């Protein structure tokens, strides 16, 4: 029996098929029940022993029971073996006749019975009436039993769900008192069911709306649903218990209505969203901090989507590039970058960052200002990922380094150019000479190097002073540039010495013609302090690869040719092998120039003693040259060379600078000695 006192369906069905067999004196019967979820008739009872191995389900329209169910009317088959709907297992077991009776409850067909016999003669009208009467009695009882079991199962499922569901469930009475709360509700609120039952929520906690305002008792979810008799969904409340504990809950509530249309109860389900709210609050605070930095930062900041489009740009970036926020957003960042860094409309390294193949990117870029100018920027880009490590967007921070870049360019220019004439200096000239040699080798072309020295420049300095001499050098530089091609290089090596690189020169004649043209240009009268001055020079010419195949040898042999031109007074001279017969002096002169420029000379200090007492009262500075091949050279080995080659002045300047620095160090250390320097 079921809990309600109704016979359970399987027992009732077994009783029905047994009773049918007894009433009609037949071999077997079966009772099937319709299950809508499967679309089949399921066997509830079957006393046909020979059908034990057959299926426990039956399709509507199949067999005598299935056909009776489908047609919703009784069915007699007097000659079963000849019936087109006969089933093999029944034929195999000698069934001769059959009857099918539909089971009807509450006006709908809920199942069917099948009664089979092996006797010849089958069933008559009385049998059919008897079975129909049995079916009419059994069907309502079966339906009631099934409903009772379904109700019990439903109740069990509800209890199971009520107790195990992750959301809290709270039931309020019509007076607003808590009747029930499930275990999840106890865990979420932090109070036991005993502590809450019989009390109103007002007595247990304070409630606040999402905007932070405290809710009056009449504005809480329970009273609102009871008054309106309408469900509510997605209500967010903050509840604060007396001990200060805080919970954020998301509430859905429905009224339970009575027959008179009044709300008897309120069933509220709620989820604990405290952690989510804390995360949202942390995100809000983080966003506020980011927004404060974003808007007030001195550097440009942009959020870039994974496709390279600007999502937003801060005021500093807008000022830096001259564009408004609307002009920047929704456009590719590559639009505002110099084309040298853009490939297929995108910044390649930024694409790699967006794809996650690199973690961070730092590079110096030139942006294009709205007015057309270039803005040098140091940009640092990083990938922002989501909670599941998925790429979200890029943050690009950009610092304007235009001023620094200009300064670097200016410093680089100063390091590689002569301060007086703005021509390339010896360092840049030497680099260009090596590059020109490489190009000439690759393209199988000749190269000419012209080494030029002004004649009697010392007399010009003595007559007009250094200011006048500097003016002459500036005019010489201007005239030299006018006589040369864009591809040529003219450099000032120091003093009144110049070097000219002529790449791709055709032959000796072309190099000589250029040298002659230069000499003629220099001879045009030059006005210095109201006086006409004619500048003359000597030019030595060497060719690559005929005379030398490396830069050092070309320079050395160019010097030798220049000294030959100066000695012979011919203005120009090509290098010849005869110049190497006694070239040791020229080589040493060349090396001395390098030593002076590279500050390779050293100073020895000889003590000066007071006679009688032996007290050290001063020192005399003596210059020495530690030569890589000849060892430590005394002044008598290189001072005459310096005087002949006009290196004496830069040598003297280097010595004086070193002496003054040494004297300063000694004085700061408390050593006050006089120093003598021979000039």
Task: Say if residue 400 is preceded by a cis peptide, omega within 30 of 0.
Answer: no
Residue carrying the six token digits 């007071």: 610
Which residues have CB under 8 Å from 555's CB, separation 6+?
430, 433, 449, 451, 499, 590
Active-site option among 496, 550, 659, 664 = 496
What DSSP letter does each residue of 317-335 carry, written as one string? HHHHHT--HHHHTTSBGGG
Active site residue 496: yes
The token duo for 299 is 């550097």
Distance between CA atoms of residues 548 and 133, nearest Å: 130
Distance between CA atoms of residues 439 and 323, nearest Å: 45
The token duo for 209 is 């709306």
Distance between CA atoms of residues 495 and 426, nearest Å: 12
The token duo for 487 is 């591809």
Distance between CA atoms of residues 150 and 37, nearest Å: 14
Residue carrying the six token digits 């999502």: 311
Distance between CA atoms of residues 594 and 322, nearest Å: 50
**Of 624, 546, 630, 545, residue with least CA distance to 588:** 630
Q: Interior CA angle at 501 toward 478 and 412, to 5°?
A: 70
Furthest C-alpha separation in the chain: 168
Which residues have CB under 8 Å from 572's CB, separation 6+?
512, 515, 516, 519, 538, 539, 540, 541, 565
Distance between CA atoms of residues 320 and 339, nearest Å: 18
Crossing angle between the packed helical segments 9-24 and 125-164, to the nearest 10 degrees = 170
The token duo for 206 is 């304070």
Give the strands of the sheet with 447-454, arranged side by side: 489-494, 497-503, 447-454, 537-544, 572-574
The token duo for 610 is 């007071």
Q: Which residues are catalytic?
A: 496
């Amino acid at each position: 029996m079921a809990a309600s006192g109704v016979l359970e369906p399987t027992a009732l069905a077994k009783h029905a098929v047994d009773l049918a067999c007894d009433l009609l004196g037949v071999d077997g019967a079966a009772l099937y029940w319709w299950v809508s979820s499967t679309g089949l008739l399921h066997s509830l009872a079957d006393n046909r022993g020979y059908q034990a191995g057959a299926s426990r389900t039956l399709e509507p329209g199949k067999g005598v029971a299935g056909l009776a169910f489908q047609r919703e009317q009784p069915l007699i088959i007097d000659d079963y073996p000849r019936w087109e709907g006969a089933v093999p297992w029944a034929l195999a077991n000698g069934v001769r006749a059959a009857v099918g009776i539909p089971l009807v409850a509450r006006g709908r067909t809920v199942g069917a019975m099948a009664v089979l016999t092996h006797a010849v003669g089958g069933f008559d009208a009385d049998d059919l009436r008897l079975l129909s009467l049995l079916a009419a009695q059994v069907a309502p009882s079966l339906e009631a039993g099934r409903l009772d079991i379904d109700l019990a199962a439903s109740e069990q499922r509800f209890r199971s769900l009520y107790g195990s569901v992750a959301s809290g469930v709270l039931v309020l009475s019509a007076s607003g008192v808590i009747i029930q709360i499930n275990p999840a509700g106890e865990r979420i609120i932090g109070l036991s069911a005993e502590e809450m039952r019989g009390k109103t929520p007002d007595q247990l906690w304070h409630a606040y709306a999402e905007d932070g305002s405290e809710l009056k008792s009449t504005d809480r979810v329970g009273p609102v649903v009871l008054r309106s008799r309408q469900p509510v969904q997605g209500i967010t409340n903050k509840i604060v218990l007396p001990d200060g504990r805080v919970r954020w809950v998301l509430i859905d509530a429905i009224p339970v209505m009575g027959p008179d249309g009044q709300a008897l109860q309120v069933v509220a389900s709620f989820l604990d969203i405290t952690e989510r709210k804390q995360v949202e609050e942390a995100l809000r605070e983080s966003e506020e901090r980011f927004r404060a930095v974003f808007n007030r930062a001195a550097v440009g900041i942009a959020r870039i989507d994974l496709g390279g489009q600007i999502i937003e740009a801060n005021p500093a970036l807008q000022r830096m590039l001259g564009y408004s926020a609307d002009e920047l957003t929704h456009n590719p960042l590559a639009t505002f970058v110099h084309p040298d860094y853009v490939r297929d409309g995108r910044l390649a390294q930024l694409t790699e960052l967006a794809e996650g193949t690199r973690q961070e990117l730092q590079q110096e870029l030139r942006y294009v200002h709205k007015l057309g100018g270039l803005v040098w920027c140091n940009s640092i880009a990083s990938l922002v990922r989501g909670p599941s490590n998925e790429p979200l967007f890029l943050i690009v921070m950009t610092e304007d380094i235009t001023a620094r870049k200009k300064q670097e360019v200016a410093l680089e220019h100063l390091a590689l150019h002569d301060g007086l004439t703005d021509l390339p200096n010896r360092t840049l000239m030497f680099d260009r000479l090596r590059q020109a040699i490489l190009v000439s080798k690759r393209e199988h072309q000749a190269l000419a190097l012209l080494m030029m020295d002004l004649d009697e420049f010392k007399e010009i300095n003595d007559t007009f002073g250094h200011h006048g001499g500097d003016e002459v050098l500036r005019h010489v530089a201007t005239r030299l540039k006018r006589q040369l091609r864009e591809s040529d290089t003219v450099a000032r090596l120091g003093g009144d010495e110049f070097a000219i690189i002529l790449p791709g020169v055709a032959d000796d004649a072309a190099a000589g013609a250029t040298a002659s043209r230069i000499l003629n240009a220099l001879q045009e009268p030059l006005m210095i302090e109201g006086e006409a001055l004619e500048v003359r020079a000597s030019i030595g010419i060497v060719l690559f690869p005929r005379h030398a195949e490396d830069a050092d040898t070309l320079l050395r042999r160019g010097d030798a040719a220049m000294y030959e031109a100066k000695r012979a007074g011919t203005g120009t001279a090509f290098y010849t092998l005869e110049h190497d017969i006694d070239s040791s002096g020229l080589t040493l002169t060349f090396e001395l120039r390098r030593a002076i420029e590279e500050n390779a000379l050293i100073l020895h200090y000889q003590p000066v003693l007071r006679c009688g007492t032996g007290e050290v009262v001063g020192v005399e500075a003596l210059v020495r040259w530690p030569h890589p091949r000849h060892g430590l050279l005394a002044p008598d080995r290189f001072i005459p060379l310096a005087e002949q080659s006009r290196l004496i002045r830069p040598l003297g300047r280097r010595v004086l600078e070193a002496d003054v620095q040494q004297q300063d160090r000694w004085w700061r250390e408390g050593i006050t000695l006089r120093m003598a320097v021979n000039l």
